[in-house]
Structure 1
Amino acid sequence: MSRVKLSRVESLFEELSYPIARERAADEFVDTTVTYADGEGNLGELVSQCPSAEFAGSDELLADLNNVLPVEAVGEPGQSEGDA
């Protein structure tokens, strides 16, 4: 099983041929673990939860993925990387 940081997922998505169905994209990453701010998840399972049935490009797939990521993927609730 391969591992990839969340910040590197887009480069994996760019390797796919588009358009691609959600199920096909999920199958491509069934053996990939994505690590994020406070945990990890199976990238194939996360992609399978995306709302779109098909993706025209890697940017669409990444946008959908960001909508299904758990809260711990982006850091602690209420925290900001902006100026304090």
Structure 2
Amino acid sequence: MTHEVKLNELTELLESASYPLSADAMRSQFDDVTLVYADGSEPLAAVLDRIGSDQFDSAEDAQTSIFNVVPVEGVGEPGQSEGEG
């Protein structure tokens, strides 16, 4: 059964793991997780495949690495800004 996780819920998920954690171990531990984007979804394993790291030292390290490879379109509405409005 697939476990769907929104990007704003990723921190809680990653904090449930023990670190340091290899990328392979993370794939195995979260093999049923699908990240839900603003415009679709993607298996977490596919996201991890795009990350160059072999190991994550903390949940924050893993989250930063994941956010760096998540498609920009998946984060919010096109043209949406959190800046001045």
Q: Residue 18 of structure 2: SS of its match in structure 1?
A: coil
Q: How is 1:3-82 mapped onto 2 (pairs within 5 angstroms)?
A: 3-82=4-83
* 1:53 CA displacement: 1.0
Cα separation, 2, equivalents of 1:10 and 1:62: 7
Q: Residue 11 of structure 2: SS of its match in structure 1?
A: helix
Q: Residue 35 of structure 2: SS of its match in structure 1?
A: strand
Deviation string for 1:40-66 (max 9, x for gaps)?
110122123212111110000000001
Q: Is contact 1:36-1:74 (8 Å) kept? A: yes
Cα separation, 2, equivalents of 1:48 and 1:28: 14
Unaligned runs of 5+ in 1: none
TM-score, length-scaled by structure 1? 0.88
Once superposed, what is the RMSD of the aligned Cα atoms? Answer: 1.4
Cα separation, 1, equivalents of 2:13 and 2:48: 12
Unaligned runs of 5+ in 2: none
- Taking only the aligned residue pairs, the percentage that are identical comes to 38
* 1:76 CA displacement: 4.1
Matched residue type, 1:40: S
TM-score, length-scaled by structure 2? 0.87
